[in-house]
Structure 1
Amino acid sequence: MRNSLPPVPTKLPEIEVADAFRRGAPQVVLALSSAEVELGGVKATGKAGDVQEVPADGAVRWVAGLGEGEPRDYRRAGAALARAVSSVDQPARTVQVALPEDVTAAHVGALAMGLFLGGYRFVVTTEDPKPAVQTVRLVSPSAAAYADEVARVRELAAAAALTRDLANAPSNIKNPAWLANTTAKVVGSAAVTVHVRDEKWLADNGFGGVLAVGGGSDSPPRLIELEYRPRGAKTHLLFVGKGITFDTGGLSVKPADGMHLMRTDMAGGAAVIASVRAIAALGLAVRVTALVPAAENHVSGGSYRPGDIVRHYGGRTTEVGNTDAEGRMVMADALAYGIQTYKPDLVVDAATLTGAMKVSLGLRTGGLFSTDDDLAAAVIAAGTRAGESWWRMPLVDDYASGIEGELGDVRQAPGGPGGIMAALFLREFTAGLPWAHLDIAGPARADKTYDDVVPGASGFAARTLVELAASYSA
């Protein structure tokens, strides 16, 4: 079974920029909603994401709608085009796209993002997936001006695709050791140092939260530690990502419906891992340390229990109320360790933490909690550039007393409001540093296609983290 997994990371299509068409390869015309386009007897609406195939009696084979021509419309058009080209019986290996005269680098970058990610597939079958388009040629007299933007966007798209790969991998393969070893193989380089801490190291160093959550599984937990330290960096960011490779809920067991989706419960950790890879590939002048506490939350005689008192890294204790609130348990250890060990300037964590966020914000917007207005604004701005939507949620201090413990320092599951109380719990382990908590329980998974997202893990948050790091690059 291990050998039947698709390669990680998924190979993205190649995107070239050129000032002339190549003879023989089919062409694509991009059309605004306000334009009337008729080719080969086919009328195109110009609606964003609407792709019409033209009878193959000329050079043009597809017309792709651009809507109002905003960057998001270009991204939607690129994604729809990638899917359309891949779905025909004999897909073209190379497709050429004529860029409008008034296109900007932002438009081209958005189009490239859609083309890179729109045809993404992750399947584990005995048959090879349908061949997709391998090369897209963007044609414009000003092509040379867009090459750098396409190269930059490729790294952002690669981060989203790697996040999807890791989160989509089935959990009979993806245990904590697999996630750690894959990270070391894929991300470790001359620029990024990866340390994998095993269960003995975790026990020796007092990671009680990670050990408690991982205690019910035959697959022991790991802490994945990544360091990117470029010369000239003036800001040090700490990223922490939840890495629960499967979540049964533990003794507070989840309902059977939907439990199969818990293979993506490490999507926050995957986003952190993939973002560091992209940050290093782009050579950003910002120091980044990333921590992913990885564990399986299973049911056995070794499972932790409601009513347990768990001692975290650094000595603080937590009263356990619900073993299905396991994400905050492992992240508390990682936050405390990362801050004490590395002394960063800013802290950002990402996690599929609470179902409450899905109720509050739906499935396409991430929840943002922060103790610092400037950091919150930077995250939202980074998300806007990345094409990911964030909504700032309140950290209501009037609720903070609910976190106070009776037998321990803090309570893990004091009741609602769920998303806010989880954030307030994590805040207890941030040592007063500027901190942002990204709850991606809603947008980390998709049940249908939209924009450049396909069903399954969406890759949400990885691009925002890269853009955030870029905003602090010296």
Structure 2
Amino acid sequence: MRLPLPTPLLAVEAADTVRRGVGAVVLATPGDPVVLGPGGDDVEVTAEVTGGAGTTTKPGARWVLGVGSGTPSDWRTAGANLVRALNGDVERGGATTFDVLLTPDADVRSFVLGLVLGGYRFKVTGQDAPKRIKSLRLVGADAEAVRVAADLAAATALTRDLANAPSNVKDPAWLATTAAKLAGAVPGLGVQVRDEKWLAASGFGGVLAVGSGSSRPPRLVHLTWEGAKTGPHVVLVGKGITFDTGGISVKPAEGMHLMRTDMAGGAAVIAAMIAIARRSLPVRVTGLVPSAENHVSGTSYRPGDVVRHFGGLTTEVTNTDAEGRMVMADALAYAVDELGADVLVDVATLTGAMKISLGVRTGGLFASDDALAAAIADAGKRVGEAWWRMPLLEDLAEDVKSDIADLRQCPPGPGGITAALFLREFTGGLPWAHLDIAGPARSEKNYDEVVAGATGYAARTLVEFVENYGR
């Protein structure tokens, strides 16, 4: 089965002038009376025109879009709701291109993110796709700001594509091949795909153990961008579990279908690497995505097994459903021992505990270094992704130790913290951050620029962080 990806996205460009004979969108902010932006002199202000963020009305020939108080969230909501309203109008025979007349204080980056991502749609279907708005021109926008925001939106959308793909198609080989194909189209972005034979010869015991129950063997995706000869070498590691049954510690049936998105962290790393290379950022960065399918069979790994990871550390398995940390441990150790990493950032849908702690709109941030934690949180704030720093409680560190192996996979206690403490054992003392996106990687409804399904969370943060770290 061929999947419709990358998903076609709305084209957004900057412009200096308004086109004749083309529909226009006027911006509005709340007030008494409502304040209209450029082009609003002849617009009738009806009771429906409130200026509230994301409100869309068409009192006459022009659309009126409310941008609220002008926060980044307001601008993303405004952009998303505008494109959804225009798409609905296109289905009724409306125009497919418009000029949006910006105000001088417009948050162009947030607005473009909303416009491009709010209309995102992933559906595997035999029917013709519905008609959609094709392009928008932002009159008065800075062209560079539009381009950067569109690149960030494309990274988010690609992450969504990969995570939304159904797992009857998306096995580790498909994910690796797709990543290689996409990366191969970007000049200068190196890509290697390592198969199960290479993983076995190299000692990736965690990846092999998790993948042992599936007839579809594991892979490691290795992406390299050498945009600079100096500066810190950042290694990004993303969990690439293409489907997670829980293994022998099998998950409840309810909600298991959502496990097609359990490789959302790996998808974010792939998409971020492609965006970094497309923008030719002057940085040194490597992306690693250990990928496996955690299945149930007579060859599955078991609770009580002892697994030897890359580099030699051993882990006592206590729950086969805690498979993400097993594959991530191999990749982190590989980055430390073989790649000359200066800083490590991993991202994963790792623990249900983090979803309980922070809900579904905020990612958990663990870090061994205060400056690194601040850099990631600040990057997320600039691109509209929220992170909350969680503690690495040293009084729990000893619980990660095992009586029969070096480490214990699932110690008792707060699951998100103990999972992070387990991963820390493979970081070699380097500056390291762990991003747990179990909550925000999926959504059941639309909000701001997010649509139901995979959200693409973390891809924008990774790009923004890598661009600015160490400068």
Q: Distance in 1 between matches of 2:340 and 2:229?
A: 18
* Residue 235 (structure 2) pairs with residue 234 (structure 1): no
Candidates 403, 407, 410, aligned match of 2:404 = 407
* Counterpart-to-counterpart distance in 2, 1:228 and 1:21: 40
In the TM superposition, what are the counterparts of 1:133-144 in structure 2 within 5 Å? 133-140=133-140, 143=141
Q: Deviations over 1:118-168 (max 9, x none)?
A: 10000011112212111101113xx4xx00110111111110000000000
Aligned residue for 1:73?
74
Q: Kindly provide the amino acid, as one letter, of the partner of residue 131 in structure 2.
A: P
Partner of 1:158: 154
Q: Give, as a single letter, the amino acid of the residue that structure 2 aligns with 1:82.
A: V
Q: Does 1:109 align with 2:109?
A: yes
CA displacement at 1:473 relative to structure 2: 6.4
Equivalence for 2:56: 51
Q: Contact 2:53/2:78 (CA < 8 Å) preserved in 1?
A: yes
Shift of 1:40: 7.7
Partner residue in 1 for 2:176: 180
2:317 is equivalent to residue 320 of structure 1: yes
In structure 1, how many angstroms separate the alpha carbons of the residues matched to 2:446 and 2:130?
18
Q: Which amino acid aligns with 2:171?
A: N
The CA deviation string for residues 207-258 of structure 1, in whole angstroms up to 9 with x for no partner, is 1100000010111000000000113441210100000000000000000000
Deviation track 1:304-333 (CA, whole Å, cap 9, x = no partner) reads 000000000011100000000000000000
Cα drift, residue 11 of structure 1: 2.0
Q: Could you tell me whether the CA contact under 8 Å between 1:42 and 1:54 is conserved in 2?
A: no
Residue 122 of structure 2: aligned partner = 122
Write the letter of the residue equivalent to 2:109: G
1:460 paired residue among 449, 457, 461: 457
How far does residue 190 in structure 1 lie from its aligned partner after superposition?
Answer: 2.7
**Residues 368-426 of structure 1, C-alpha deviation per residue, up to 9 Å, x if partnerless?**
00000000000000000111000000000000111001110000011220000000000
Instruction: Tell me by how many angstroms 1:198 deviates.
Output: 0.2
Q: What is the rounded CA distance, in whole Å, between the counterparts of 1:69 and 1:116 in structure 2?
A: 18
Query: Is the CA contact (8 Å cut-off) linking 1:91 and 1:131 kept in structure 2?
Result: no
CA distance in 2, matches of 1:389, 1:99: 26
Q: Is 1:444 aligned with 2:441? A: yes
Q: How does 1:179-328 map to 2 (within 5 A)?
A: 179-188=175-184, 189-328=186-325
- Any conservation in 2 of the 1:194–1:225 contact (CA below 8 Å)? yes
Q: Which residue of 1 aligns with 2:93?
A: 90
Do the aligned residues in 2 keep the contact of 1:31 with 1:66 (CA within 8 Å)? yes
- Equivalent pair of 1:9/1:186 in contact (CA under 8 Å): no
For 2:67 and 2:80, how far apart are their aligned partners in 1? 11
Residue type of the alignment partner of 2:290: P
Q: In the alignment, which residue of structure 2 is the partner of 1:13?
A: 10
Residue 43 of structure 1 aligns to a residue whose secondary structure is: coil
Distance 1:412 1:169 in 2: 29
Q: Secondary structure at the match of 1:203?
A: helix
Q: Tell me, what secondary structure is at the counterpart of 2:334? A: helix
**Cα RMSD after superposing both structures:** 1.3
Q: Are the aligned partners of 1:284 and 1:473 in contact in 2 as well (CA < 8 Å)?
A: no
1:420 is matched with: 417
Alignment partner, residue 21 of structure 2: 24
- Kept after mapping to 2: 8 A contact 1:91/1:132: no
* Secondary structure at the counterpart of residue 48 of structure 2: strand
Instruction: Give the letter for the 1:152 counterpart.
Output: V
* Distance across 1 between alignment mates of 2:119 and 2:284: 33
Contact 2:375 2:469 in 1 (8 A): no
Question: Structure 1 residues 41 and 73 mapped into 2: Cα distance closer, same or farther (>3 Å)?
Answer: closer
CA distance in 2, matches of 1:342, 1:54: 60
Any conservation in 2 of the 1:213–1:297 contact (CA below 8 Å)?
A: yes
Q: Distance in 2 between matches of 1:53 and 1:207?
A: 59
Distance (Å, rounded) in 1 between the aligned partners of 2:426 and 2:153: 32
Using the TM superposition, give the Cα deviation of residue 282 of structure 1 relative to its aligned residue in structure 2, in angstroms.
1.4
- The answer (yes or no) to whether the contact 2:83–2:115 under 8 Å persists in 1 is yes
Alpha-carbon distance in structure 2 between the residues aligned to 1:75 and 1:441: 23
Amino acid at match of 1:160: T
Q: Judge conservation of contact 2:72–2:384 (CA < 8 Å) in 1.
A: no
Match of 2:164 among 168, 174, 195: 168
TM-score by length of 2: 0.95
How many residues are treated as equivalent by the alignment? 460
Secondary structure in 2 matching 1:195: strand
Which of 394, 398, 420 is the aligned partner of 2:395? 398
Kept in 2, the 8 Å contact 1:353–1:439? The answer is yes
Whichever residue aligns with residue 136 of structure 2, its letter is: V
Aligned AA (1:69): G
For the 8 Å contact 2:242–2:261, the answer to whether it is kept is yes
Q: Answer whether contact 2:187 2:277 (CA < 8 A) is retained.
A: no
Amino acid at match of 2:52: K
CA distance in 1, matches of 2:242, 2:390: 27
In structure 2, distance between residues paired with 1:46 and 1:117: 22
Name the CA distance, whole Å, in 1 between partners of 2:58 and 2:352: 41
Q: How far is the alpha carbon of 1:20 from its aligned partner?
A: 1.7
Give the CA deviation at 1:24: 2.1
Segment of structure 1 superposing worse, 360-369 or 67-76: 67-76
Q: Say whether the 8 Å CA contact 2:217–2:292 is kept in structure 1.
A: yes
Distance in 2 (alpha carbons) for counterparts of 1:11 and 1:265: 23
Q: Which whole-Å CA distance do the structure 1 matches of 2:48 and 2:328 have between them?
A: 54
Q: Give the conservation status (yes or no) of the 8 Å contact 1:177–1:221.
A: yes
8 Å Cα contact 2:158/2:456 also seen in 1: yes
Give how far 1:455 is off: 0.1
- Provide the rounded CA distance (Å) in 2 between the counterparts of 1:273 and 1:39: 48
- Paired position in structure 1 for 2:39: none
